Structure 1
């Protein structure tokens, strides 16, 4: 896009003041994002503007409807917390309406745009490196789930059908291997065979939803570490961001992805696999924070699958990354030819590291669920 086209998009939203500057922003795999700075009566105010990727989100209007419903619900809850030093306006993303009253703008090329108020003095982290941070992240995800556990608004749309459905993801992997469009299958036989060997175990959450053993709630569906925003001054977790995949599902999708990203000693795309492993100290702190906030609304069956959810979400991402690599890198943004393969190998290494410590991992979950369930019963409910 040229400069004038970008400015035209900005002009379609209910913003006032003078545009001072804008630039490309963020590291997301999916959407294109700009950060703009406006002079509003002498005050600098910034906004993020995103073009929604229609290849991923086939019905962008439904994505926006979901985000609007969830952020409004969370904001109303946060507004009741009178003693919150962070402030309710920073406890969730704030959509800015377009001038026609909708919360998106559709340009002449059929592209969908949305605008958020930029949350100032806040940052994200790419790598978990200490238990204090892990505890805070666990609290953030538990709080998000707690905030939405009593949502009674319009039903959310399933914006990406069967998004965390392991059966569907394996069908996609099988098809990618059969088609072998990029001619890469022979070079990834070891990874492909490992994932096939683990196919049955990975179906537990999908089977649980289909049978009704797992209840459906509202889930973020992408609770990786860098989707938790932290206050720069206090270090406190403020809120979860990147809400495009908010939709119905089991809370264990969120719990599992949290475990996958926050307990990994390496980056998601680390090429040196010796740096990748499952850190049980970080995991303990993470689950302590998570169950402190979530213990009172999780069922016993959900609690019993917390550890398994981490392994399953790691597995599903390995399947997705390897599928994209076999298809010729058509879904995720890449920075090098082997990028998706590196991502897949990292997830597989993390699964193997978990397997080597499985009894310890299960005992940690059991002990912390027992501790925080008892604490929640004494206090009445976990504070949100």
Structure 2
């Protein structure tokens, strides 16, 4: 039967923030964040045929994302690069120049810029800003970035930046701003997304909650005369049979110390956010085996803040789950699994050839 759905973007994840394990909560020197290890994950994803790869960012963990993105742009030729940037640590005009430069570096041999940007509404390291002004600053940053990366002169009189600049001398290969991906569930975050981003990202949740978030965000964006696209960030464990996938999930947690898992969650920069609270609620309300609904397993969240659930099953079940999300309006998936390179290979062999996909 022919799939009549439009293609979706399938992305993988490179563990720049020291988030790679064979057994969750048990550090492994071979899987620590490093240029070599994270490069190998990206190369595996490109070889497997993924459309895009998220390069996460955290000032307290792992290696620097912008430097890594510049280097990996010259070590790959096809896969898109979704570079996470922390707005609290940046000056938008300088960030725009970095984005344009890396986009041009990524076009080697193809003439096609491959950089996209994941906006993180972060604090300045060592400081804490209240939610409302922090997200207001993020909206300003997105507006500045889009103006400059669209090759336009900037005359910005905002609360956080007052800038009057000529059009930049360097732009992206396309001459347009790359897609801005952004996520968050608080009231302030939702309004910021509605006003400024292109792709709204969600963490795993029950289907009815995903549908409600999509409906809410469509309404919010429409009030600003905009339309959003939607993405879904989840872990995945796929094996030839459902029983094998469930065994793999159980093995992943088999050496986890509960206190160590709590410590890992607590040290995350987003450990008190609305989104993280929603992931905790999803886990706490799941069945005794950790499944919140068929094939959605919350065990990952026992040793990870942020995205805390995995799609678990055989290839047919994982494909059906993804297609159900597509039917709800999801156009982009950012997937990951442990260890990341090995699980990327499994997904690329078992599921990716069966789904129509392409970069957004």
Q: TM-score, normalised by structure 2?
A: 0.27
Higher relative contact order (CA 8 A, sep 6+): 2
Please identify which structure carries the higher strand content: 2
